Amino acid sequence: MIKRKGLKSAALAIAAFSLIAGACGGSDSTVTEETVTEETTAETTAALPGEGILACQVTDTGGVDDKGFNQISYKGMQDAEATLGVTIDLLESASDADYAPNLQNFADKGCNIIVTVGFLLGDATKAAAEANPDKNYAIVDSAFDPPIANARGLVFSTDQPSFMAGYLAAGMTKTGVVGTFGGINIPPVSIFMDGFAKGVAYYNAQKGTKVKVLGWDTEKKDGTFAGNFNSLDDGKNIAKSQADEGADIIFPVAGPVGLGSAQFAKESGGKVKIIGVDVDMSISNPDAAEVYIASVLKNIDAAVLAAITDTVNGVKTSDNYVGTLANGGVGVAYTAVPAELQAEVEAIGAGIADGTIKI
């Protein structure tokens, strides 16, 4: 059925492909970067404390290149590899059905700590942690109730930097109206919006202004939500309707939906500005870098690194890691903020960190 000629041409095709791949290999910076770190650590591990520790990460269905929490978590893994000398491994999940088998694979592989990303993995992580009491588990953006001896949550007080961002937005708005919206009304999202609105209210109380917040009601604990985390069109439309109501600074808490808002802001020609979320979006979204005035940071990588550090030091705990302004787990990145206002916002951040300002 199969003739030799056919096979030969297939082989030729493969060879041709390989040549093309070789020629454009230099442009693939991510792949090259990864191997460079691997090689350098391989040479320097001898003196590092994490030698012999295997740290493993299971992503949710977003995959490791989601420009979101899976990717940032993996950066924490890479940091641990570079600074502690641990060996790292990664499994991506294509569907919910992959969580348990992936965790099983890692348990078999002898991972010392397994980091899972996102509340979707909560039940699978719980089951795995109970089945493997000798291993440490950590889950990003979730927590266990009741606690499990060898599993901990990595959670973040994102209301703190959002409060700062709200103050910052109120200080920069020209129209006296700012906006926010979320992806889905769940606490990890609404906590940002609540902090933001309270920051604006704090500014109003301090300066006697009347800056209005669209998209979140601190009394009712409800506001504007896209209903998803992936529709750029929704992000564009919500930003547009808030801009129509006068908002000139918008804080989207909705992952990629916010990229749609950034696109709208770009098209508005400078009339509307955006506050980024999770990472410094002026860097992670270079296509629309000019629309960001600041970003609220949720340093998941720091949390992952902290959890791995504990495992390297032989600490087994069920205590959650809580990222705060004080421990650097959350923060604010400034892109285009007047120096005077930035100093004020920083002072507020210090106040939150030492407890003199209550949110």
Partner 1 sequence: MTDLLKSLRYTLLALLASLLVGAVIIVVTDIDALKVGDYGKAFTTVLTAYRSLFEGSFWGLRSISNTITGTTPLLLSGLAVSVAFKAGLFNIGATGQMLAGGMTALWVGFTMSGPGWLQVPLAVLAGAIGGAIFGGIAGVLKARTGAHEVITTIMLNSIASFLVLWLLKTTLFQREGRPDPISKLIADEAHLPRLFGFLEGRSDLVAHSGFFVALLATYGYWYLLKRTTLGFELRATGLNSDAAKYAGMKSKTLMVVAMLLAGGFAGMAGATEVLGTYGYASTSLAGNIGFDAIAVALLGQSSPIGTLVSALLFGALQAGGRSMQANTDVPVDLIIVLRALIVMFVAAPLLVKAMFRVKSQFSAQGQTFRGWGG
Tell me the torsion sign for CA atoms 197, 203, 208, 214: negative
Residue 144's φ and ψ, nearest 5 degrees, are -105, 130
Query: Scanning residues 88 to 117, which ones bind partner 1 (CB under 8 A)?
Result: 91-98, 100-102, 104-106, 109
Q: Which of 37, 45, 48, 61 binds partner 1 (CB under 8 A)?
A: 61
Q: Residues 247-286 vs partner 1: string with x where CB under 8 A?
A: ----------------------------------------
Residue closer to partner 1 (CB basis): 195 or 331: 195
Work out whether 28 is an interface residue with partner 1 (CB under 8 A).
Answer: yes
Residue 177 C-beta: closest distance to partner 1, Å? 29
Residue closer to partner 1 (CB basis): 119 or 163: 119
* Residue 117: exposure state from Cβ atoms within 10 A (0-12, 13-18, ≥19): buried
Residue 148's φ and ψ, nearest 5 degrees, are -115, 135
Alpha helical stretches, state H, the chain: 4-24, 29-44, 69-84, 99-109, 122-131, 159-172, 187-207, 232-244, 257-267, 281-284, 300-312, 339-354
Residue 99 C-beta: closest distance to partner 1, Å? 10
Query: Scanning residues 31 to 50, which ones bind partner 1 (CB under 8 A)?
Result: 31-32, 35
Q: Which of 77, 120, 140, 193 binds partner 1 (CB under 8 A)?
A: 120
Residue 227 C-beta: closest distance to partner 1, Å? 7
Please tell me the distance from the alpha carbon of residue 73 to that of residue 91, in angstroms, as a whole number. 13
Please tell me the distance from the alpha carbon of residue 156 to that of residue 120, in angstroms, as a whole number. 17
Three-class secondary structure of residue 230 per DSSP: coil
Q: What is the DSSP string of 107-148?
A: HHHT-SEEEEESGGGHHHHHHHHHH-TTSEEEEET---SS-B
Residue closer to partner 1 (CB basis): 33 or 245: 33
Query: Scanning residues 135 to 164, which ones bind partner 1 (CB under 8 A)?
Result: 142, 145
Residue 24 C-beta: closest distance to partner 1, Å? 9
**Residue 292 in contact with residue 336, Cβ under 8 Å?**
yes
Residue closer to partner 1 (CB basis): 120 or 332: 120
Residue closer to partner 1 (CB basis): 96 or 346: 96
Residue closer to partner 1 (CB basis): 119 or 167: 119
**Residue 167 in contact with residue 203, Cβ under 8 Å?**
yes
Residue closer to partner 1 (CB basis): 74 or 202: 74
Residue closer to partner 1 (CB basis): 100 or 201: 100
**Residue 231 in contact with residue 260, Cβ under 8 Å?**
yes
Residue 102 C-beta: closest distance to partner 1, Å? 6
Q: How many CB atoms lie within 10 A of CB 332?
A: 25
Q: For binding to partner 1 (CB under 8 A), which residues are involved?
A: 1-3, 5-6, 10, 13-14, 17-18, 21-22, 25, 28, 31-32, 35, 61, 63, 91-98, 100-102, 104-106, 109, 119-120, 122-123, 131, 142, 145, 184-188, 227
